[in-house]
Amino acid sequence: MDISAEEISALIKKQIRYYQNDTEIQDIGTVIETGDGIAQIYGLNNAMSGELVEFLNGTMGLVQSLAEDRVGVVILGSQLAIREGDEVRRTGRIMEVPVGKALIGRVVNPLGQPIDGRGPIDTDQTRPIEAPAPGVMERKSIHEPLQTGIKAIDSLVPIGRGQRELIIGDRQTGKTTIAVDTILNQKDQNMYCIYVAIGQKDSTVRATVETFRKHGALDYTIVINAGASSPAPLQYLAPYAGVAMGEEFMYNGEHVLVIYDDISKQASAYRELSLLLKRPPGREAFPGDVFYLHSRLLERAAKLNDELGGGSLTALPFVETQAGDISAYIPTNVISITDGQIFLQSDLFFAGVRPAINPGLSVSRVGGSAQTKAMKKVAGTLRIDLASYRELESFAQFGSDLDRATLAKLNRGKRTIEVLKQGLHKPIPMEKQVMIIYALIHGYLDEIPIEDISRYEAEFYTFLEGNFPRLLKTIRETGQLADEKEMEEAITSFTNQFVVSA
């Protein structure tokens, strides 16, 4: 078979014409040291801070430290198969997590991977975990209440949608209970909830998830778990994953509540990472940027303006104190970033005052402007009454003779504390709270024995539902007090028929 030179020439010319030289440039580095969840990489000169890199065995890492001759990477997974000399590739991607309504009702880890045994999550939407906070002109004044269903909070330290309110106290003072009850109360309130558990026992998180399931709260809640056994990088990333998932709802005009339980454990995980990356330690061995760690997280909570859809992201960060010391490093940092704090006191908790909220140290800097007019009117003097009661209580211990006015104040103060007590997982709607506080401040409970107050309250709610449903509906729908004559008629008729225990 003869092959002519013209055919060969035409074939070569055709190949040259259609030749495509697709050169792919990859940054490849080498592991020079590994241990304690940290890998030091040589050769990734163009790596970005916060970029994902991929190790030879498929494990991902997050670039955290950029030095002249090496890059410090935190390993997001098992480090057992990573060896000195292994190749590491840049991905060019910033850390992202899956977002969207497909995550609702699921328990995920900080990477957005399901850990509840219910199969994969069907979503292709993602958001970067680090994002700029909304600017000044993108925000709107906080004006809508976030009802927690907890009388002591809704009346004394109210929270508005878009606010950042710190929950602070020693361990075992009921912080997580406040989180759970607040989430339970968001049913039918047009609110999505994200509960971020950081450094907690898996059994505790399991019990919390079961409580959500039992009360139907999983229908609008995402749980992110970075348990006590999770590596420090995942505990550090968990709150950022939570706020990224929440921002997806906020920027779509929805309302979302994100609870970080608790960020003092996140700060400890970040301290561990920073010390392993050989960053210089500062006060209490925390790195110099520990304030920025929390400020860039909490500033992402906002109430957006109407042009951006009017969505809101409310943040409730939790901080655990040691022996009630709120002047420690992390508590003072977070207090300065947030819009107020709810302080839970061990002494009150052990004395049976639950929730153990100290009204003297608790404050809400913006929630009052979001409080409903009805609650504002009835709870206006409550804080002052409690403060004067505490003062008189310590004075009355000396046993001196007290005048009638002082005795009346002590009598009212005891009943106020009793009314503000609340059972576990029993959030109370705003309209019922208004009615019981109205009855308290107008003296209807002054003659009811202390031990009968809780029974009075429970029976009063049942009586109102059965005999005055329109009254409750008016307060609920308008946010204003109903006709005061009708309110007094309802309270008087119930109080007259209430049977005091022998």
Specify if 203 maps to a domain. Answer: yes
Judge whether 153 lies within some domain: yes
Please state the separation of Cα 125 from the chain's center in Å: 22
Residues 45, 120: one domain? Answer: no
Q: What is the pLDDT of residue 64?
A: 93
Q: What CATH number does residue 479 fall under?
A: 1.20.150.20
pLDDT of residue 301: 97
On whether both 480 and 422 belong to a single domain, the answer is yes
Give me the CATH number covering residue 103.
3.40.50.300
Please return the burial class of 66, using the count of CB atoms within 10 Å of its CB with bins 0-12, 13-18 and 19+: middle
The amino acid present at 273, given as its one-letter code, is L
Run of H or E including 418: helix 404-420
Are 182 and 317 found together in one domain? Answer: yes
CA distance 499 to 276: 66
Distance CA 169, CA 37 (A): 31
Query: At 145, phi and psi to the nearest 5?
Result: -75, 145
Q: Does residue 5 belong to any structural domain of this protein? A: no
Domain match, 58 and 147 both: no
Rg (CA), the chain: 29
Identify whether the C-beta of residue 182 lies closer than 8 Å to the C-beta of residue 149: yes
Q: Name the residue range of residue 387's domain.
A: 378-497
DSSP-assigned states of every residue in 306-326: GGGT--EEEEEEEEE-STT-T
Q: What is the pLDDT along the chain (502 residues), one digit of tens a residue?
A: 566 777 788 888 888 777 776 655 567 899 999 988 899 999 888 899 899 999 988 899 999 999 888 999 999 888 888 999 999 999 989 999 999 999 999 999 999 999 999 999 999 999 999 999 999 999 999 999 999 999 999 999 999 999 999 999 999 999 999 999 999 999 999 999 999 999 999 999 999 999 999 999 999 999 999 999 998 999 999 999 999 999 999 999 999 999 999 899 999 999 999 999 999 999 999 999 999 999 999 999 999 999 999 999 999 999 999 998 999 999 999 999 999 999 999 999 999 999 999 988 899 999 888 899 999 999 988 988 888 888 888 777 766 677 888 888 888 899 999 999 999 999 999 999 999 999 999 999 999 999 999 999 999 999 999 999 999 999 999 999 988 899 999 999 999 998 887 6
Does residue 409 sit in the same domain as residue 491? yes
Taking each continuous run of H as one helix and of E as one strand, the counts in the chain are 16, 19
CA distance 449 to 378: 22
Q: What is the mean pLDDT of the chain?
A: 92
Our count of domains for the chain comes to 3
Catalytic residue numbers read 365
Q: By three-state DSSP, how is residue 309 classified?
A: coil
DSSP 147-159: --S-HHHHHHS-E
Kindly state the helix (H) or strand (E) to which residue 470 belongs, with its residue range: helix 469-478
Which of 422, 425, 355 is closest to 211 using CA atoms?
425
| 188 and 217 together in one domain | yes
Per-residue tokens: 317: 């960060």
Phi, psi angles (nearest 5°) of residue 141: -60, 140
Residue ending a domain, choose from 73, 93, 113: 93
Distance between CA atoms of residues 309 and 286, nearest Å: 39
3-state DSSP assignment of residue 39: strand
* Whether residues 352 and 393 fall in one domain: no
Residues 283 and 396 in one domain: no
Query: What type of residue sits at position 259?
Result: I
Residues 273 and 354 placed together within one structural domain of the fold: yes
Q: 73 φ, ψ to 5°? A: -125, 130
b/e burial code for range 397-406 (CB count within 10 A of at least 16 → b): eeeeeeeeee
Residue 15 covered by a domain: no
| Predicted local confidence at residue 22, as pLDDT | 62
